[in-house]
Amino acid sequence: MDFLRRAGIANIDELRRLPAQALLDAAKEHFKRGYDDPPVDGWLLPAPPAELLARKAFTPRPVVIGFNADEMLMYIDRPTPERWQQAVAQLTNPGPVDDLLAELPIPQRLDELESATQFTCPSIALANGFAAGGAPTYVYRFARIREGDPGIGAYHGAEIPYVFDTHDAWLPTDAVDLDLTRRMMGYWQSFAATGNPNHDDAPAWPRWDADARVQTLAEDIRPDVFDARLCSVLTP
């Protein structure tokens, strides 16, 4: 109903008469924070998540949040210098972004920018909100790139086979992958049982706090300080 109200639509008949492009434009504006936003129903979710986090109006419970190193690489369309210029031209503050990513090849620049916009920076914002509200928060960055990588890197969803030990035949899985699987499954099992992912058979995973340490999940599992410069520019 909120979507209809914002679009100036009074009833179902008006909605049916709305030109397709006008409907797409209205949807793009309404869902500008993403199509995955949960509906605010006033019961299960009394207000938008960003507002609840800002007000610390939630019950603090342990949470694991993460992102992958190359979330958008496989989805990059036309990785050309012209495409990069188009991408930065849409930013409010393009200069610092151009400077931060200047040393990367164009496909990696586009991947870094689009991954940060859609995955990395929203994840960090959530982690900051939960941690500020007292929730034990653990953040990971999955960065394992398999042998024989076809150019998709640590792609969107690449961590799932490791969490559930569901490696498909098309993925070349070696001893490094199997060891990482065992340790990651231990993290998730421990978190499910205790609210803390740490276990004896993997490097310690620090809580997210002012030190901004993420657990890098790759052939070398380790906590790293998160580089917030790009997120600071994109979401000041």
Question: Taking residues 104-122, what's their average pLDDT?
Answer: 95
Q: How far apart are CA 133 and CA 65, in angstroms?
A: 15
3-state secondary structure of 67: strand
Element (H, E) at 225: strand 222-225
Decide if 207 is inside a domain: yes
Decide if 145 is inside a domain: yes
Decide if 36 is inside a domain: no
The model's pTM = 0.83
Of 188, 190, 158, nearest in space to 173 by CA: 158
Please tell me the predicted confidence (pLDDT) of residue 43.
Answer: 85
Q: Which residues are paired to 225 by β-bridges?
A: 213
Q: 3 with 27: CB under 8 angstroms?
A: yes
Decide if 230 is inside a domain: yes
Please, what is the average pLDDT of the chain?
Answer: 91
Say yes or no to pLDDT of 28 above 80. no
Task: Tell me the CATH number at 203.
Answer: 3.40.50.1820
Decide if 12 is inside a domain: no
User: 35: pLDDT confidence band, cut at 50, 70 and 90?
Assistant: low
Decide if 54 is inside a domain: no
Question: Taking residues 32-61, what's their average pLDDT?
Answer: 82
User: 32: pLDDT confidence band, cut at 50, 70 and 90?
Assistant: low
Number of domains present in the structure of the chain: 1
> In the numeric block, which tokens belong to residue 10?
């009074």
Residue 16, classified by CB atoms within 10 Å of its CB into exposed (0-12), middle (13-18) or buried (19+), is exposed
Please tell me the predicted confidence (pLDDT) of residue 77.
Answer: 81
Decide if 43 is inside a domain: no
Q: 140 with 213: CB under 8 angstroms?
A: no
Decide if 65 is inside a domain: yes
Q: 208 with 127: CB under 8 angstroms?
A: yes
What residues make up the domain containing 227? 59-234
